[in-house]
C-alpha cells in the first residue's frame, strides 16, 4: 500500500533528507586515501546525533553501522571496516537518518583522490541516470516509466543495471511501497500520485549486471569484480511533479565543485 504524505509531512521529510545531505557533505572532505570506512562511520553517527536525529540504518534489520560503505566492486550494503581507502578507489556512501519520525535516505559515490577516466565516466553516467529517472516520477506516469528510462540510459552507455536491489517508497518506515526498480517497461506497474515520496537509487555496474553476496549476509558485489556506482535522492511528488528533497550541494561545496545540476533540473521541469 502506498502511503501518500501531506505537504506538512513532506516538509518534515525534507528536514530528514537534508540531515543526510549535510552528513554526506561533512564526509566529502574526509574521504581521502588512508582513511578507514569505520572512521567515517563514527564521524557520521556523531554528526547525525549532534543534529538532533537518529542514524537510520543502525540496527535496522540488524545492520551494525550508521553508513553502508561500498567500495569499488561492492554495489551496496557494505559494512564499514578498518581497511584504509586507497587512491583511485571509489566509495559509495549510503546514509539514513530519522528526524520527526521520518526517514531520510540517500547516497553518493565518491572518488578517492584521482580515479581512472573509465571510472569517472561510470560515476557521471550513474548520477545522470538518477535525474533521468526522477524526471519520469510525476503524476500520470507509472513505476515502469522510471525503470525504463533509467535502464535505457544506462544500457545505452554500455553498463549493467542491477536487478536484485531497487529503490523504494520512504516515510515513517525506511522501506515503503512501491518498489522502484531501475529497469522496467513503459506503462507498467503502480501509478504515481500526488504526495508520494520515494528514494530513487540507480545501482550501475561497469560490467555485468549480475551480483553476488558476501558471507557476511550484507555486502553485495558485482559478479565480475568490476566497479559499481550508486547515487540516491529522496523525491516527492508536489503539484504533480518531482521535487528533490535531498541535495548534493553540501558535497559540492565541500569539494569546491561548481554545479547547478539540481537547479538546472528544476528549470527543465518547469519548462515542460
Binding residues for substrate: 77, 175
Nearer to Mg ion, 235 or 237 (CB): 235
94 binds Mg ion (CB under 5 A): yes
Least distance (Å) between residue 76 CB and Mg ion:
8
| Closest to Mg ion by CB, 173 or 191 | 173
Q: Are 200 and 146 in contact (CB under 8 A)?
A: yes
- Write the DSSP symbol of residue 191: B
Q: How many residues bind Mg ion (CB under 5 A)?
A: 5
Distance CA(4)–CA(133), nearest Å, equals: 20
Q: How far is the CB of 240 from Mg ion (least distance, A)?
A: 24
Strands 203-205 and 197-200 come out as: unpaired
Alpha-carbon dihedral 152, 168, 204, 80, rounded to 10 degrees: 180
Quote the least distance from Cβ 168 to Mg ion, whole Å.
6
- Minimum CB separation from Mg ion for residue 105, in Å? 4
Binding residues for a divalent metal cation: 94, 105, 168, 201, 232
Return the number of the residue (77 or 209) whose C-beta is nearest Mg ion. Answer: 77
DSSP character at residue 173: S
Q: Which one of 100-108, 117-125, 137-145, 241-249 is the stretch in contact with Mg ion (CB under 5 A)? A: 100-108
Among 24, 91, 199, 251, binds Mg ion (CB under 5 A): 199
- Measured distance CA(160)–CA(206) in Å, rounded: 6
Q: How far is the CB of 167 from Mg ion (least distance, A)?
A: 6
Query: In 10 A of CB 264, how many CB atoms?
Result: 11
Q: What angle do CA 5, 10, 15 make, to 5 degrees?
A: 145
Whose CA is closest to 132, among 111, 108, 104, 157? 157
176 binds Mg ion (CB under 5 A): no
Q: Is residue 45 at the binding interface for Mg ion, with CB under 5 A as the rule? A: no
Identify residues 230-249 at the interface with Mg ion (CB under 5 A): 232
Least distance between Mg ion and beta carbon 218 (Å): 13
Whole-angstrom Cα distance, residue 37 to residue 45?
Answer: 12
Q: HSE on the CB side for 190, CA within 13 Å?
A: 15
Using CB atoms within 10 A of its CB, is residue 215 exposed (0-12), middle (13-18) or buried (19+)? exposed
Measured from the CB atom, the residue of 107 and 235 that comes closer to Mg ion is 107
Answer for which of 45, 105, 136, 234 binds Mg ion (CB under 5 A) is: 105
Site for Mg ion, rule CB under 5 A: 94, 105, 107, 199, 232
Amino acid at each position: 500500500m502506498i502511503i501518500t504524505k501531506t505537504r506538512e509531512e513532506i516538509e518534515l521529510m525534507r528536514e530528514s533528507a537534508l540531515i543526510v545531505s549535510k552528513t554526506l557533505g561533512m564526509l566529502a572532505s574526509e574521504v581521502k586515501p588512508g582513511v578507514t570506512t569505520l572512521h567515517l562511520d563514527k564521524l557520521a553517527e556523531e554528526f547525525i546525533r549532534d543534529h538532533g536525529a537518529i542514524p537510520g540504518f543502525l540496527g535496522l534489520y540488524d545492520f551494525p553501522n550508521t553508513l553502508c560503505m561500498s567500495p569499488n566492486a561492492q554495489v551496496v550494503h557494505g559494512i564499514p571496516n578498518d581497511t584504509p581507502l586507497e587512491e583511485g578507489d571509489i566509495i559509495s556512501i549510503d546514509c539514513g537518518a530519522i528526524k520527526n519520525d521520518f526517514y531520510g535516505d540517500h547516497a553518493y559515490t565518491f572518488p578517492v583522490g584521482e580515479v581512472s577516466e573509465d571510472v569517472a565516466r561510470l560515476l557521471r553516467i550513474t548520477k545522470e541516470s538518477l535525474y533521468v529517472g526522477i524526471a519520469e516520477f510525476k503524476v500520470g506516469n507509472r513505476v515502469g516509466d522510471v525503470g525504463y528510462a533509467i535502464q535505457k540510459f544506462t544500457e545505452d552507455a554500455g553498463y549493467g543495471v542491477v536487478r536484485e536491489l531497487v529503490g523504494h517508497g520512504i516515510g515513517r518506515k525506511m522501506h515503503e511501497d512501491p518498489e522502484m526498480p531501475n529497469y522496467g517497461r513503459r506503462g507498467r506497474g503502480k501509478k504515481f500520485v500526488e504526495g508520494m515520496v520515494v528514494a530513487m537509487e540507480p545501482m550501475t555496474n561497469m560490467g555485468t549486471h549480475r551480483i553476488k553476496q558476501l558471507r557476511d549476509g550484507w555486502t553485495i558485489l558485482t559478479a565480475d569484480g568490476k566497479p559499481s556506482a550508486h547515487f540516491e535522492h529522496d523525491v516527492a511528488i508536489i503539484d504533480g511533479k518531482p521535487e528533490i528533497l535531498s541535495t548534493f550541494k553540501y558535497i559540492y561545496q565541500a569539494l569546491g565543485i561548481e554545479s547547478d545540476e539540481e537547479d538546472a533540473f528544476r528549470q527543465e521541469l518547469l519548462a515542460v
